[in-house]
Amino acid sequence: MFTGAMVALITPFQDGEIDFETIEELIEFQLEGSIDGIVPVGTTGESPTLSHDEQKKVMERVAKAVDGQVPVIVGAGSNSTAEAIELTVHAKKVGADATLQVGPYYNKPTQEGSYQHFKAIAEAVDLPVVLYNIPGRCGVGMTPETIARLSEVENIVAIKEATGSLDQASEIASRCDITIISGDDSLTLPLASIGGKGVISVVANIVPADVKAMTDLILEGDLVSARQWHKKLFVLCKSMLTLATNPIPIKAAMAMLNMAPEELRLPMTPLEEGKRIALKKTLQEYGLLS
């Protein structure tokens, strides 16, 4: 369930409201691209600017639209353990297959605090948990020791590693057998070399079949052939992640490709004009725009 190409789905907005019609169109596009899993209301899905009610509605609509065709792993994390449990309860109620649980942000817990936070969520709701280690967003990350401890908790099955550190991932792999998933598109193949099993991908919003082609080769153990896809995807991945804060560039790209509105919620703002030109060139060079 937690391997291969999984898309970190955007949340499209229209005039300030969630555009559920476009969400369903995007899901159909992902399924046509043979994506292995759909991950709504995470960082890319702008969960920090969704109300809890909106977040729950997106969970429900995505699970209903996917209808069991692939796993749905919904973002249900919070810096409040009680809130994360509440969202996880709802995720199970609406038929999600698992939850993605981001590290507690802003309140900056100790390693013991992080351990107790995730353990409490996993024990409160009988639903698989994918940990999400992204210190650049949260202000604090988990050490390999803490992740290894958490891997022993029933229901904690995988970790989305977005530290950018192969040493970190290597140490996790040496300490336990938790499934390691890349949280950075450009590092999917490098992580595979030390045991990574796939990616929760931003760029898969626009090229799901290409990301899937690479992860299929990775799972087959053919890293040499996967390298060709890595080289093709690399520039596109870096543009999605370095032109501006995610999901600003991916929403701009999807608008250029007539896939979804570019609209964001404050404090996220549209891509600057100079960077928009660079993004358009990248899409043209990839073959997505004429």
Q: Distance (Å, rounded) from C-alpha 173 to C-alpha 136?
A: 21
What pLDDT sits at residue 239?
Answer: 80
What pLDDT sits at residue 10?
Answer: 98
**Number of other residues whose CB lies within 10 A of the CB of residue 270:** 15
What pLDDT sits at residue 258?
Answer: 98
Q: Distance (Å, rounded) from C-alpha 195 to C-alpha 56?
A: 33
For the segment(s) 4-220, the CATH number from 3.40.50.300, 3.40.50.880, 3.20.20.70, 3.40.50.740 is: 3.20.20.70
What pLDDT sits at residue 1?
Answer: 79
Q: Distance (Å, rounded) from C-alpha 162 to C-alpha 24?
A: 27
Q: Pick out the chain residues at pLDDT < 70.
A: none
Residue 53 CA: distances (Å) to CA of 24, 67, 87, 125: 19, 21, 10, 19
Residue extents of the structural domains in the chain: 4-220
CB 128 within 8 A of CB 100: no
Half-sphere exposure of 224 (CA within 13 A, CB side): 0
Active site (catalytic) residues? 132, 160
Tell me the two tokens of residue 54. 């909106």
What backbone phi and psi angles, to 5 degrees, belong to 277? -65, -45
**Count of all residues that appear for the chain in the document:** 290
The torsion of the CA quartet 6, 125, 93, 264, rounded to 10 degrees, works out to -50
Tell me the two tokens of residue 92. 């199970």
User: What residues pair up with 213 in beta bridges, in sequence order?
Assistant: none
Q: Distance (Å, rounded) from C-alpha 55 to C-alpha 41?
A: 7
What pLDDT sits at residue 215?
Answer: 98
User: What residues pair up with 130 in beta bridges, in sequence order?
Assistant: 100, 158
